[in-house]
Structure 1
Amino acid sequence: MTQLTIKKTAVALALVGALAACDTGEKADKSGDSKVEATKTEFKDMHEKAAYSMGVQFSKQMSANFDSLKEYDITINKELVVKGMSDGFAGNAQFNDEEVKENINAFQNDLNEKIKQQQAELEAEAKKAAEENLKKGQEFQAEYAEKEGVTKTESGLMYRVIEDAEGTESPTAEDAVRVHYRGTFIDGKEFDSSYSRNKPIDFNLNGVIPGWTEGLQYMTVGDKYQFVIPADLAYGENDRAQIPGNSTLIFDVELLAINPTEPYKAPETEASVEEKVEAAAEAVEEKASEAAAEAKAELNELKDKAEEEVEEATADDQ
């Protein structure tokens, strides 16, 4: 069962407790989803405004919970909820406390059965999908094992060397490592990548999936390997986030450091041709602006000087 379904189930079960304050009696003639034009209410003071606001807030919270029940084919009549609350506050509820409890328990039992049924259906679908993933993964592994340069270990892990740094130091299961990696499914779809984030990860080698713990111990710093990891060395038969159960996973891994002590610093990359052209254009534009400003200043200076000479000549004539 997925995490989303678990969350929805929790919401549904939480709703049962909240319904203890609601009347679940006979059906009303009108739909619970019908909208009625609000009557303008005059509020005398802050307490009345707060009381009304409590009702609005409660209605929004309960409406969201009611909507979550629709996936179980349960529709709550909101008009009856309002009537139950109104009658309850007035002290003239149509059910006594024992009957209210029985009604809520009956609702809870019905909801529990629907949840169990949905869970069973989801588990059956997940099991079928996991079986298909396992079969496809085994077929892929058999083909991959025949490729040149592929090594298959006793555990079932397969790897091939992409780049050999010819180093001498390999990590042990007790070490911490820093790696760059890209993870894909057997159909080539990427599900995770430190390269796309431009930041490698550090982790303890004995704290990850078995395929990684084993595979990285074959590498030396600077090596790049490709791992094909069967499901039993990865996340097993259960779904995990975006990884379906029984998935065979492919990882391209680059070992950057063993027991790193300094934070990772991304290497400076040489500017692209486009960046260089853009920088040069900005420099030219800046120089042109400076030259134009200087020319304007000189022109203004000449203009001022000419005006002074004209004024002096006029004064002499007079």
Structure 2
Amino acid sequence: MQTNTFRTGLLAAAVVFALAACNQQPASGGASAPAASSPAAASTASGPAAASGPAAASDVLAGMTEQQKASYLIGYLQGQQLGDANTILDFDQATLIKGLQAGMASQPLPVSDEEANNILQQYHTAQMGKLATRQLEEGKAFLEANKAKEGVKTTPSGLQYSVKTEGTGKQPTAKSTVTVHYEGRLLDGTVFDSSIKRGEPATFKLDGVIKGWTEGLQLMKEGGEYTLYIPAELAYGDKGNPSIPPNSVLVFDVKLIKVQ
């Protein structure tokens, strides 16, 4: 039982962190897929063969026993998770399937648990390093282009911001407590945090947040609305966090409601 628990931990080490990162990972190319109404998409869709969605998916289960349906769905959900993790971990699919089959057949692990853990940790670290490098390059390119846009200002620290509305009220210091509405996005537009969606503003001390927020909010006055473009070194750096990939530039729309 102890060995099985340990091996379950190996899978978690290899997949769970990758899932958290890739669920919020900016698209590497920045281009969206063609719309279904575009010529490229329309030319490939014709008749029943092009059917998709729940109705088409249910046909896969037609004629299956309840055991087979459950087995298919379990396999599908596991495969979906592995597919998401593959965005970062870059599995060899054929070898992965062999490993799944060997594990389901209770074949012996070809290496010790300790060695398996080391292999997975080393590979995971290498892949996350590649992601961090890609994020760093994309972030630098974005900030370089963004600073040339009309209305965007850059501070000596590298923080960029644009003003939607200038406030007329009190201006905070680094020791102030502020109440704000905000939305935080990655460069691909993915929203990772939003007080607006939660339906209530957030209140916090400016000396207890990321550097980009501490600096950026001090530029504002009550009633002001800014967009902050925060370089990774003023945010979560090369470590990231479970919802933000390493070396991510963060974009925040912020409305300063109150300064205490």
Specify if TM > 0.5. Answer: yes
1:244 aligns with 2:224: no
1:254-269 matches, cutoff 5 A: 254-259=255-260
After the TM superposition, which segments of 4 or more aligned residues of structure 1 sit over 6 Å from their partners? none
Could you tell me how far 1:166 is from its partner in structure 2? 2.7
Match of 2:171 in 1: 170
Contact 2:167 2:220 in 1 (8 A): no
Compute the displacement of 1:75 (Å). Answer: 6.8
| Aligned 1:1-318 pairs, distance under 5 A | 8-9=9-10, 110-167=112-169, 169-259=170-260
1:133 match: secondary structure: helix
Q: 2 CA distance for matches of 1:247 and 1:228?
A: 11
Counterpart residue identity of residue 252, structure 2 = F
Q: In structure 2, what is the Cα distance between the partners aligned to 1:10 and 1:221?
A: 49
Secondary structure of residue in 2 paired with 1:135: helix
Q: Could you say what the CA RMSD is over the residues aligned between the two structures, in angstroms?
A: 2.8
Q: Deviations over 1:110-161 (max 9, x none)?
A: 1111111101111111110111111111111011101112111111100111
Cα deviations by residue, 1:155-177 (Å, 9 ceiling, x for unpaired): 1100111111233x211111111
What amino acid is the match of 1:201?
Answer: A
For 2:188 and 2:105, locate their aligned partners in 1 and report how far apart those are by CA, in whole Å. Answer: 44
For residue 251 of structure 1, give the secondary structure of its aligned residue in structure 2. Answer: strand
Which amino acid letter does the alignment assign opposite residue 142 of structure 2? Answer: F
**Helix, strand or coil: the match of 1:241?**
coil
Instruction: Identify if the C-alpha distance between structure 1 residues 240 and 192 changes in structure 2 by more than 3 Å, giving closer, same or farther.
Output: same
Identity percentage over the alignment?
A: 41
* Structure 2 counterpart of 1:239, one-letter code: G
Q: Which amino acid aligns with 2:139?
A: G
Tell me, which stretches of 5 or more residues in structure 1 are unaligned? Answer: 1-6, 13-69, 79-106, 260-318
Aligned AA (2:254): V
Alignment correspondent of 1:268 = none
| Change in CA separation of 1:144 and 1:113 when aligned onto 2, cut-off 3 Å | same
Identify unmatched segments of 5+ residues in structure 2.
1-7, 14-98
Q: 1:11 to 1:235 in 2, by over 3 A?
A: closer
> Any idea what SS the aligned residue of 2:144 has?
helix
Helix, strand or coil for the counterpart of 1:155? coil
SS at match of 1:179: strand
Instruction: Tell me which amino acid in the other structure corresponds to 1:249.
Output: L
The number of aligned residues is 168
Alpha carbons of structure 1 residues 222 and 128: separation in structure 2 relative to 1, 3 Å: same
Greater relative contact order structure (CA < 8 Å, 6+ sep): 2
Aligned to 1:304: none
